Amino acid sequence: MNQKKLMTFGIIAFFLFIFLIIFSNSAFITIDAGERGVLFRRFSGGLDKQNIYQPGFHMVAPWNDMYVYEVRETQLEEEMEVLSSNGLTIKVDVTARIRPNYGTIGELHETFGREYLERLVRPEVRSSVRQVIGKFTPEELYSTRRDEVQTLITEELTKVLTENYVDLRAILIRDIELPDKVRMAIEEKLEAEQGSLKYEYILTREKQEAERRLIEAEAKAAANRVLSASLSDKILQDKGIEATLELAKSPNSKVIVVGGEGGGLPLILGGGN
């Protein structure tokens, strides 16, 4: 009898052991750093969108399912061909840096699932890039308005993704490739414009220099007019006498003063030893 009970207990223990092995992976779950979990309760309410499971060790009933999401920043790279405003085909290489919103993992899972990159982000990136680039000409994209294009794509995409539980960290336009003929035409035009600007700069500089010289000459002429108007014969005679007296003080000079006619200046005759 005891042997029969022992056999029965052994069989039960064996099946319990098999049961634990089968369900152990789903009953004990570890959520790593940079991850979040959302629980699907099969028999009591379905998807629990209110409780987001944080990193750590969690015990989950075998009949429930834990969906673990990577919430670190992820890069989505997209190469595509789009049409410019004048109908030319342009190749664009774009990188989107995104991550799920921490507090809305449940809504994200219910709406798009863990394939949200392919179901949501990639189509929206392609749509926003096409919509924005379609407003610009190849020349604008190649030369002057590339930063503006990137900003507009970021604004457009941020609005859409935020409404769908995803945070857009950045949009980066890595490359815009135009057809060779279009690119060469744009480069030639830009080169011609630069040459024209350089020529205009030289003309402006020469004009400014001519104006400066004219102003300087007019200033000198005005100064000479003022000086001429202020000098009289008496002042000039006095200045001459002062200069003569200074020269007469030299020890190497012998001074002979001869009065000039008509108010002329004194003369210094003689020399040194």
pLDDT in tens for each of the 273 residues of the chain?
566 666 777 777 777 766 666 555 557 788 999 999 999 988 888 999 889 999 998 888 888 889 999 999 999 999 988 888 878 888 889 999 999 998 999 999 999 999 999 999 999 999 999 999 888 887 787 777 888 889 999 999 999 999 999 999 999 998 888 776 666 666 566 665 566 666 677 777 778 887 878 888 777 777 767 666 665 666 656 666 676 666 666 666 555 454 555 555 555 545 554
CA distance 134 to 146: 13
**pLDDT at residue 45 in the model:** 83
> Within this chain, do residues 91 and 133 fall inside the same structural domain, yes or no?
yes
> Within this chain, do residues 85 and 170 fall inside the same structural domain, yes or no?
yes
In this prediction the pTM is 0.59
The answer to whether residue 93 sits within a structural domain is yes
> Within this chain, do residues 54 and 84 fall inside the same structural domain, yes or no?
no
CA distance 126 to 80: 8
Scan for tokens 């919430």, then name that residue. Answer: 71
**pLDDT at residue 42 in the model:** 87
CA-based radius of gyration for the chain:
47
The answer to whether residue 223 sits within a structural domain is yes
User: CA 185 from chain center: how many Å?
Assistant: 27
The answer to whether residue 183 sits within a structural domain is no
**pLDDT at residue 40 in the model:** 92
How many Cα atoms within 13 Å fall on the side-chain side of residue 43?
4
Q: Supply the CATH number for residue 106's domain.
A: 3.30.479.30
CB–CB of 37/108 below 8 Å?
Answer: no
User: Of 178, 211, 246, at which residue does a domain stop?
Assistant: 178
* CB neighbourhood size of 96 (10 A): 26
**pLDDT at residue 213 in the model:** 81
User: CA 207 from chain center: how many Å?
Assistant: 38
The answer to whether residue 92 sits within a structural domain is yes
CB–CB of 248/255 below 8 Å?
Answer: yes
For 251, the domain range is 233-273
Handedness of CA 116, 118, 124, 129 (dihedral sign): positive
> Within this chain, do residues 79 and 63 fall inside the same structural domain, yes or no?
no
> Within this chain, do residues 120 and 89 fall inside the same structural domain, yes or no?
yes
Residues in the chain: 273
CA distance 61 to 40: 10
Q: How many domains does the chain have?
A: 4
> Within this chain, do residues 131 and 197 fall inside the same structural domain, yes or no?
no
**pLDDT at residue 101 in the model:** 93
